[in-house]
Structure 1
Amino acid sequence: MMPIQPPSPDSLPLRRPVLSATGDGPAPHEESLPGVTVRVTGPDLQRRAQLERSRGRLVVAALGFGALFLAVAMKATWSTVIAPAEPKRLNAAVRALQPPSLHVASRAPITDRNGEMLAISLPVTALIANPRVIHNPTEVADRLRTVMPQLERERLIERLSGDRGFVYISRALTPREQQGVINLGIAGLDFEEAERRYYPQGRAAVHVLGNVDVDGKGVSGIERRFDERLSTDRETPLRLSIDVRVQLALRDAVSKAIADFNGIGGAGVVLDINTGEVISMVSLPDYDAGDIGGATPDERFNRVTVGVYEPGSTFKLLTAAAALEYGTANVNTSSFDASRPIRFGRFTISDYKGKNRWITFPEVLAYSSNLGAAHMAQTFGPQRQREFMKAAGMLARQQIELPEAALPLAPPANSWRDINMFTIAFGHGISVTPLHVVTGVSAIANGGILRQPTLLAQPPGAQREGVRLIGERTSETMRRLMRLVVTDGSGKNADVAGYFVGGKTGTAQKTGPRGGYLMNKRIAAFVGAFPMNAPRYALYVMVDEPKPNAKSYGYATAGWVAAPAAGSVIARIAPILGLVPEDPGNPQIVAATSIPLQPGRPRASAAAGAATPAASRAAEPPRAAAPRPAATPRDDAAPPVLPRAVPMPTLPGRAAPGALPPPVPLRLTSNQGAGLAAR
């Protein structure tokens, strides 16, 4: 046989062999090479045919698996992205068959008016122990403290000792703590599924929400007032009228005022004057709702509904509204003697930085004259003053949805006499809560309808019932006067361009626990409404015991303390509440909210609607026997405790507007006195 020669590098590629059939199997093939013939046998051809068939089957299988995976991917996309499946609720029958240990009294969530979560119950794991099984309480306590070092060792040992069969070690474990206890492997320890009340907003509206005890039962605030509702209707949130955004803005402003003037506390309220909804309620100092155990009594004290204070000059709005409503004074023609103090024995009522002249009706409020307010109250007398205060809700608890609501401190009916009439006219001799003040002023500004405040959100457009306190015309006049106080009077620092703020400042001395007034301890407050051309909201801001500072030029009165805080609150919350500022120079709005300080002021000797000079002289002893008049007191001067006075004859029925009954002389004993109030 001739040896096979390798092909030349320049030769053509080999041709595939040409197959020819031989015998009963696949015919052997011959492949021709240059000078070479290769034969392919039948078995090789069979293997090649099988490989071709396998290749086709693999292609079909791959296509099948591809289609399957594509279907799974499409189904997953549909179920998770396009149309997510809702989780199935646990069947009631299945829940009923669960062990009793898993049934914990749950509570419905509480939200603000916009649906923001204020309180919610979440599942937790509690650590319990059986002291009968634990033989070495000290060792177990030390091992547990390696996982939970916050536990008090002596108290833990005491709880793990004794013959009790069940004690709580911790009401709420974190997952890390739970795993750590499991790793300890201590016999006698077990876990219990429970629920815990959480307050996601921390300190926001803490005095409104209140708290629950360790068993989930309400103990204060809304949690206590609606305890049954929250425990039975668990799926429906309780929606409050509070707006968290406004709540935070009001808290920031009051907190800053307290810090700036070194006060011991403060309060604030924002009220919808048309529905009575409380949009915000702040009492400082406060505490984190989730840490009630660490709160002090002062932090838990709600100054808005429980704190009773003399309202000071903010009450002059009620005095003016009563005089207009009774028709015993006229805003255009009445004037009052503020040229001399009113003397009661050795005490006097005088003005802080008074004008020392006769002043008009608008000037009484703009300049916050105690003398003018006292003479204004004299036109309608003590009996009708008390009737008006009762109608305004100043003699009873506010019917708000909080268990914590204080009763005002006021003279009884048989002791409401001349001296009380004079001092109550400018906010002394009576103590009410801040909620009383802002509710009464809301009625004065909203057209005359008094509505009890509420913490429950009202349906949009709902009309809440109320009682008429004053007429619409009186309310319109009062709105002009409130605006005048901010533009030309003591409330200038509360003005916000475009929102036409109106209101009244009030500074009152604090009373001591044994009666009498405390030196250098005062309440500085501002109450008002905005916008006065179409009132929507009422506002109250108060700082407890402010101290003068350099920025206030040594003053700590409401015009320097509370009015600026009120202005900053309005500037922040008005846009939040959807109020758009108007042009401050809009002539129509300015005309609708303005009143001159001296509208056609008559001469003092012929002033209509004023206490005559003779009446004023009747209120003081003869000149020769009169004590030396006291100098006009400083703002921090303490008013004396007032004794009872001789009753004043009741004035006849309501007079026509502008027509005044004859003034009634005061009959006083030599030892009677009166307090004095500053703005």
Structure 2
Amino acid sequence: MISFVIRLQSRAHFTIRRKAGADGGAFIGTNARRRKQARRRLAIVIAAFIAAYLVIGTRLVQYGLSEPVLSASIAGNVHAVASRPNIVDRNGLLLATDLNMVSLYADPRRIVDADEVVEKLALVIPNLDWSDTHRKLRSDSGFQWLRRQLTPKQQADILALGLPGLGFRPEKRRFYPGGVMASHIVGHVNVDNQGLAGMERYLDQQGLADLRAAGLTHDTRLEPVRLSIDLRVQNIVRDVAAKAMADYQAEAAGAVILDVETGEVLAMASVPDYDPNEPSRTLPDGRVDKEYEKGWFNRISNATFEMGSTFKSFTLAMGLDAGGITLNSVVDASRPIRMGGFTIRDFKGKNRPLSIPEVFQYSSNIGTAAVADMVGIDGHQQFLTRLGLLSRVETEMPGVATPTQPRTWKKINSVTISFGHGVATTPLQTAVAAAALMNGGYLVPPTFLTRTPEEAKSLARRVIKETTSADMRFLYDWNGRNGSGRHAQVEGFHIGGKTGTADKVINGRYAKNINFNAFVAAFPMDKPRYVVLTIIDAPRTGENGGRTAASTAAPMIKAILRRVAPLLGVKPRFGEPEAEIRLVDY
């Protein structure tokens, strides 16, 4: 009976279930129960799928935001493929650019026969270090660089070898089309494309290194950086400096050209120099060529020298600006000055009273010492500080040298500094101070980037009176026509300036037979637009056998300006009568 009821109930479309309550029971359909169970199971499956997708999505987001996992051996090269902006001159000519390259690496764990790999790679890669490569291939690390920056042909040849465990990584290589031409200005980078010198290093200091670290420069085309230099002018200046160094058998030579209104550096060369495409040269025996690396030293901005009689420009400007002298003043240069155990004489002195133009023309040490004495020690130091000659020059170029001066200025210091001994400055800041004498009296910070006259005016500060600047233009023109500046004259152009011949300091002593020569020039003298400064370090000979600045540095000015002036838009004037030279009292 019981079994019959159970079978009957299983065939029924309803189930009797007793419930507590007034009704005492209810009828629940079997189909309804099954549908409810199906919906419950479907909901469970949907919830499981949603949970799985949430876990997967969360993990993908986590992977996307996290740093990539790298082995310690390559962590320092994470940003090796980062781009750098092109560097161009003021006319848009290319100075530096990136090339796409590849570098070879190995996974030593997958190398089957290290000896075989080394032997085959040596057939493709020149100067491969067998022992070092073998050591890398036998190491326990998962990554080893074998050779950086290969050519496409080398990459194809290595792929053809079919060696397991080798791979390639895309990289950037910096290329300098001009080679040595502007090496000290542009600078160079290391194998990871990080700026080490010159404007390349400046770019990293201005935030490029941070952008690289953030991964924002990978394969990104950046806006070119336009420099102030004119590549045509730069080529001439460098050529003249190299020729002078060879012809005069000197240790070094150099030159710089400045725009007196904007402070833009149009050209700067220092020889010996180097090729930024190969900043470190390796000798056949594997050693680094130390003599070649001496070319890294930029004597125009990174070195200080006693600038000799070029400083007489600033001494006379100081006396004129202070009102202690006028162009019509006369100082006694008839006798040497004895002071503190030293005797100060003139080189080829006239042994008579001299007017201020004659003091400048004959480069009288006695005359300039007298002018410095009129102003006084404190006034002398303050004036040179105002001209920026005693402090580090502010410009974009990294590694600019700081001038040296006596710890305590005494009278003997002021006297010797008046004619360029006792203070060492960079040739660049000497040119900048000379530009202030020519442009109406405004000191404009030098720049290696393009700058408008309006931008320069906002940065300029007056350091001397307009009348003092006019007097100095007269003195430069006077010396250019009648003094040592005659050796720098180019027919059709009005060039003025001042020579400077200083005994070099060797082991703390002045060497009588070794000179450091300079010439600071301005042109055209009716309205100076440019200042040019040339240097020649320790020449053994010069024009007509002379070793002074008039025979070495001045002819460099002539060689530069006869080729550069037309490029700078300065028109020659032929056949015009010479302007009457008069002494004007302001």
Change (3 A) 1:462 1:102: closer
- Listed as ranges, the matches of 1:433-448 within 5 Å are 433-448=426-441
Deviation at 1:351, TM superposition (A): 0.8
Match of 1:171 among 127, 136, 148: 148
Q: Distance in 1 between matches of 2:398 and 2:454?
A: 28
Partner of 1:521: 514
Match of 2:306 among 297, 304, 310: 310
Q: Distance in 2 between matches of 1:489 and 1:158?
A: 69
Change (3 A) 1:237 1:131: same
Q: Deviations over 1:296-322 (max 9, x none)?
A: 342111111111000100000000101
Quick check: 2:319–2:374 contact (8 Å CA) kept in 1?
A: yes
Quick check: 1:208–1:402 contact (8 Å CA) kept in 2?
A: yes
- Listed as ranges, the matches of 1:371-382 within 5 Å are 371-382=366-377
Match of 1:576 among 564, 567, 571: 567
Mind listing any 5+ residue stretches in structure 2 that lack a counterpart? Answer: 1-64, 70-77, 212-216, 282-288
Match of 1:180 among 157, 171, 175: 157
Q: Deviations over 1:319-371 (max 9, x none)?
A: 01011000001111x11122111113543110111111111100011111111
| Structure 1 residue matching 2:484: 3-state secondary structure | coil
Is 1:348 the counterpart of 2:330 in the alignment?
no
Whose radius of gyration is greater, 1 or 2? 1
Partner of 1:498: 492
Quick check: 1:102–1:193 contact (8 Å CA) kept in 2?
A: no
Partner of 1:328: 324
Partner of 1:565: 556
> Which letter maps to 2:494?
F
Is 1:252 the counterpart of 2:235 in the alignment?
no
Quick check: 1:283–1:304 contact (8 Å CA) kept in 2?
A: yes
Partner of 1:540: 533
| Structure 1 residue matching 2:437: 3-state secondary structure | helix
Partner of 2:44: none
Deviation at 1:183, TM superposition (A): 1.4
Quick check: 2:255–2:269 contact (8 Å CA) kept in 1?
A: yes
| Structure 2 residue matching 1:282: 3-state secondary structure | strand
Deviation at 1:540, TM superposition (A): 0.6
Partner of 2:470: 476
Q: Distance in 1 between matches of 2:115 and 2:495?
A: 67
Q: Deviations over 1:87-127 (max 9, x none)?
A: xxxxxxxxx9xx99998211111111111111111211111
Q: Distance in 2 between matches of 1:323 and 1:350?
A: 20
Quick check: 1:253–1:569 contact (8 Å CA) kept in 2?
A: yes
Is 1:552 the counterpart of 2:544 in the alignment?
yes
Match of 1:277 among 264, 269, 279: 264
Partner of 1:395: 390
Quick check: 1:311–1:508 contact (8 Å CA) kept in 2?
A: yes
Partner of 2:36: none
- Listed as ranges, the matches of 1:285-304 within 5 Å are 285-294=272-281, 296-304=292-300
Quick check: 1:392–1:469 contact (8 Å CA) kept in 2?
A: yes
Quick check: 1:230–1:238 contact (8 Å CA) kept in 2?
A: no
Q: Deviations over 1:586-609 (max 9, x none)?
A: 45xx24xx445xx8xxxxxxxxxx
Partner of 1:410: 405
Partner of 2:102: 125
Quick check: 1:102–1:192 contact (8 Å CA) kept in 2?
A: no
Match of 2:414 among 408, 421, 424: 421
- Listed as ranges, the matches of 1:122-161 within 5 Å are 122-161=99-138
Match of 2:248 among 261, 267, 279: 261
Q: Distance in 1 between matches of 2:432 and 2:309?
A: 16
Aligned-residue CA RMSD (Å): 2.1
Q: Distance in 2 between matches of 1:336 and 1:586?
A: 32
Deviation at 1:153, TM superposition (A): 2.4
Structure with greater proportional helix content: 2
Change (3 A) 1:407 1:584: farther
TM-score by length of structure 2 reads 0.81
Quote the sequence identity (%): 42
| Structure 2 residue matching 1:106: 3-state secondary structure | coil
Quick check: 1:113–1:242 contact (8 Å CA) kept in 2?
A: yes
Q: Distance in 1 between matches of 2:561 and 2:503?
A: 27
Mind listing any 5+ residue stretches in structure 1 that lack a counterpart? Answer: 1-95, 600-656, 659-679
Q: Distance in 2 between matches of 1:211 and 1:384?
A: 42
- Listed as ranges, the matches of 1:51-90 within 5 Å are none
Change (3 A) 1:520 1:297: farther
Q: Distance in 2 between matches of 1:255 and 1:244?
A: 16
> Which letter maps to 2:337?
I
Quick check: 1:106–1:121 contact (8 Å CA) kept in 2?
A: yes
Is 1:207 the counterpart of 2:184 in the alignment?
yes
Q: Deviations over 1:561-585 (max 9, x none)?
A: 0000111101111111111112363
> Which letter maps to 1:203?
V
| Structure 1 residue matching 2:565: 3-state secondary structure | helix
> Which letter maps to 1:467?
R
Partner of 2:168: 191
Partner of 2:358: 363
Q: Distance in 1 between matches of 2:237 and 2:295?
A: 17
Partner of 2:90: 113
Change (3 A) 1:212 1:578: same
Q: Deviations over 1:153-179 (max 9, x none)?
A: 233223323112112222211122111
Match of 2:482 among 462, 465, 488: 488
> Which letter maps to 1:566?
I
Paired residues, number = 492
Quick check: 1:396–1:408 contact (8 Å CA) kept in 2?
A: yes
> Which letter maps to 2:128?
L
| Structure 2 residue matching 1:511: 3-state secondary structure | strand
Quick check: 1:102–1:194 contact (8 Å CA) kept in 2?
A: no
Q: Distance in 1 between matches of 2:111 and 2:512?
A: 61
Change (3 A) 1:270 1:117: same
Return 164-173 or 534-543, whichever deviates more. 164-173
> Which letter maps to 1:212?
V
> Which letter maps to 1:574?
A
Deviation at 1:446, TM superposition (A): 0.7
Deviation at 1:225, TM superposition (A): 1.4
TM-score by length of structure 1 reads 0.70
Return 521-530 or 145-154, whichever deviates more. 145-154
Q: Deviations over 1:386-416 (max 9, x none)?
A: 010000001110101012111100123xx21
Partner of 1:223: 200
